[in-house]
Amino acid sequence: MAKLTNYTTDGPELVINERVSSDAEAEKVAKKRLRQKNKDEDTASLTLGPGDVRLIGGVNVMVECWQVHDGKYSVVKAKHNVSNSGYGTEIEIRKCLEGY
């Protein structure tokens, strides 16, 4: 049985039921699954008016003045709209993970 080192149990627990052949592989699989799980934990959808043509999928933006949500986010999806009321941009963002 493999065991992970340097972890705490004071938060939610992710259970992984997967066969591995070594402790090193177990740690690699665990880190990969945890990253996949955490990747979509902090997301938002925003509508900006006026829009910004620089906002396209894959671009990173800094979010400020949202207190605990401040930080670097990646634009996952952007939709640009032109209508009678002007130009606007709808974006979906995901917070960039740190420490992996």
The 10s digit of each residue's pLDDT in 48-92 is: 999 999 999 999 999 898 888 889 999 999 999 999 989 999 999
Q: What is the pLDDT of residues 19-45, one digit of tens each?
A: 889 989 988 988 888 888 888 788 999
- What per-residue string of b and e applies to 54-83 under the rule 16 or more CB within 10 Å gives b? ebeeeeebeeeeeeeeeeebbbeebeeeee
- Sorted by where each begins, the domain ranges of the chain are 1-39, 43-95
pTM for this entry: 0.67
